Amino acid sequence: MKKEERQAKLLRILNQSGSVSVSQIMEALSVSDMTVRRDLNELEKAGLLIRTHGGARRIAESGNSYERTHIEKKSLHEDEKKEIAALAASFVNEGETIFLGPGTTIEMIAEELMNKKIRVVTNSLPVFEILNQSTSVDLILSGGEYRKVTGAFVGTAAICALKNMRFSKAMISVNGIAEQGVYTYSEAEGEIQKFALNSAAEKYLAADSSKFGNYDFYEFYRLSDFDHVITDSKVSEKDLEELKSICEVHIA
C-alpha cells in the first residue's frame, strides 16, 4: 500500500471515530508500530490531526477557514466520489476533447477514462499523472504557477495555455455550493476553471452531496451556468428540487 493511500485511510478512520490508538491503526491497516508513528508525525506536521499519548485525535471542524490538503480531501466521501466518477465518465464519448480540473473527484473521473480514445487537457498534476499511464488518451498539461496543496497549475501562464483551445466538455469539482454560487478556496484556481468552463460546449459540475450548503472563499461560477450537475443519492430533497429547476441533474 502506497504511503498516500495508507495515510488517507488513516485519516478516514480518524474522521469516523474522532480518536484512535496506534494499536487500532496497526490492526486496521496491517502495518508496523513504527510506520503508524511515522505517519502520525507527518500528518500532525501537516495540520491534519493532533497527536495524543498512544494515538491521535481529530481536529475539530471549523467551517472552511483553512484549505484541506490533497491527502485530507482524498479520505472524505470516497464511496460517493467513486460513484459520481463512474457516471461522469459515461458521458464522455470517444474522440472528444475535454477539460478536467483539479480535485480528488476529478482524479477518480480520470481513472475511469483511462481506456477511452480521447484528448484530455488539465491543469492538475495528479490528473496528468493518472492519465499519463494510459495508452489511448492524448494528454495536455497546462503548466503555470504550481499550487502544491492541491497539485493545480494556475495563474496567467496556465490561462494563456488554454486561450486558443475549445472543449466539447469541461468537468470540474468544487469546495462548496450555496445560494446557487459555486465556491473554491483559491481565487487563482477558480479563475482558470471559469476560463475552461467558458471554453466548453458542455459544462459539468461533479460534486458530492456534502458540498451543498457550504461556502468557501471565492465564488467563481453560478449553478445556472452549468449544463449538468452530477451528485450522489444523499443529496437532500430541497437541494435536488432546486437543482432540477436550474439544470440537468444526474444522481450516481
The pLDDT tens digits for 75-128 are: 677 889 999 999 999 999 999 999 999 999 999 999 999 999 999 999 999 999
Query: Percent of the chain at pLDDT above 90?
Result: 69
Q: Given a cut of 90, is residue 19 above it in pLDDT?
A: no
Higher-pLDDT residue of 135 and 66 is 135
Average pLDDT over every residue of 190-214: 95
Query: Percent of the chain at pLDDT above 70?
Result: 93
Q: Given a cut of 90, is residue 151 above it in pLDDT?
A: yes
Confidence of residue 38 (pLDDT cuts 50, 70, 90): very high
pLDDT value of position 168: 98
What does the alpha-carbon distance between residue 128 and residue 42 come to, in Å, rounded to a whole number? 25
Mean pLDDT computed over every residue of the chain: 90
pLDDT tens profile 232-243? 999 999 999 999
pLDDT tens profile 41-84? 988 887 778 888 888 887 654 444 456 666 666 667 788 999 99
pLDDT value of position 249: 97
Average pLDDT over every residue of 221-247: 94
